[in-house]
Structure 1
Amino acid sequence: MKLVVGIDQLDTPALFAAGRRIILHAAVYGAFARSRPHRDALTTALSRPDFERLDIIVLEPESREPWVRPFLDALRFGISTQATDDEVALSHRYMSELAAGHPDKVRLHPARRLPCLPVLIVDDVIIFGQYAHSGAHAPQGFWGMIRADVPTLLSWTMAGKPPAHADEEAVAAFRLVNECARAMCACRSLAPDSARNLDLRDRPATTAP
């Protein structure tokens, strides 16, 4: 595992541009919308014929979930309510434009559950940070990066839990992938009985990246 101070150290635009399967679970993406390197990287990835799928768990401006305001207060600590709402609107507008421009490759998932931590998955790379009630925002915190067999971890999500033979590192990686997979699903559980009734577009893709 690689641990760095500040997400900029991980050069996520380069990862995005080269990726074929991306999952973004960060709720609010105003920073991406304002960052030309991030915008260009996602456009580059989506324009490649071999690109498979981009899943984005995004907070909707009109969301009335009870956890939203406390979550935003932590995420954007010290920023006014109006500025926070503007950030959410910018984020949703940008991601909606991406989805409209690439409807066969981009799937938006409205955030229905409280996000526990930010997670970005690009092929077999998993990047994760943490939210905190702090005057320093999440991008400035510690960020971890690991490599894992993401398609296998997604298949475990459909089964409901890791298999008994999974080692500790795989189980730890599964927790991150499972956070994303559950956020992409409208049902409360991804156990087989619930998953059978999902729209195919809501099933976590398990194809190899």
Structure 2
Amino acid sequence: MIVPDGYSDVPAGKIAAVVTHLEMTAPPTRRDDPPGNWTLRKVDRPAILWYRDIFRRVGEDWLWFSRARMSDAELAAIIHAPGIEVYALVADGRDEGLLELDFREPGQCELTYFGVTAPLIGTGAARFLMNRALERAWSRDVRRVWVHTCTLDHPSAVAFYQRSGFRAFRRQIEIADDPRLDGTAPRDAAPHVPIIE
């Protein structure tokens, strides 16, 4: 379905975002790590409570909701699946970033989830995490690495991905139930997105 030019109503209780899909088909030129004391930790068979906590701390401000709405069994089936790799960015001994790579489709790697907690935004931690993400993605036999982001995310997300070597190739509109209205996210999450009941 093609959305017509002009305004289109978004029903009350819903949120709408423009989603940009980005890809790279060859390893990019490596960018230097910024100064900082971060490490990357591979999390084998992530505990559900741990995953929910880091997912919330990284994504709640941007209304990440898809995994939050899953049952424990649904979530475990994904994050424990062969071909899924989960990593934590560690800062001062605490997990403060999430990287999830999906290698389940042959020849491809999706950066399924990528982000750092609010205190680390603008510190260079995301650049460190992206450098590690691309190293791991391209260490496999892949022809394509891709990611998507949306207008609910940090305003610099698309530019950050482009500086990292990704090229935009598709744009979509996503409409979903507002996660703040069903308790998936707190009502004060993502204050930059108004709640319309």
Q: Which has the higher strand share?
A: 2
Structure with larger RCO (C-alpha < 8 A, sep 6+)? 2
TM-score (norm 1): 0.26
**More helix by percentage:** 1
- TM (norm. structure 2) is 0.27
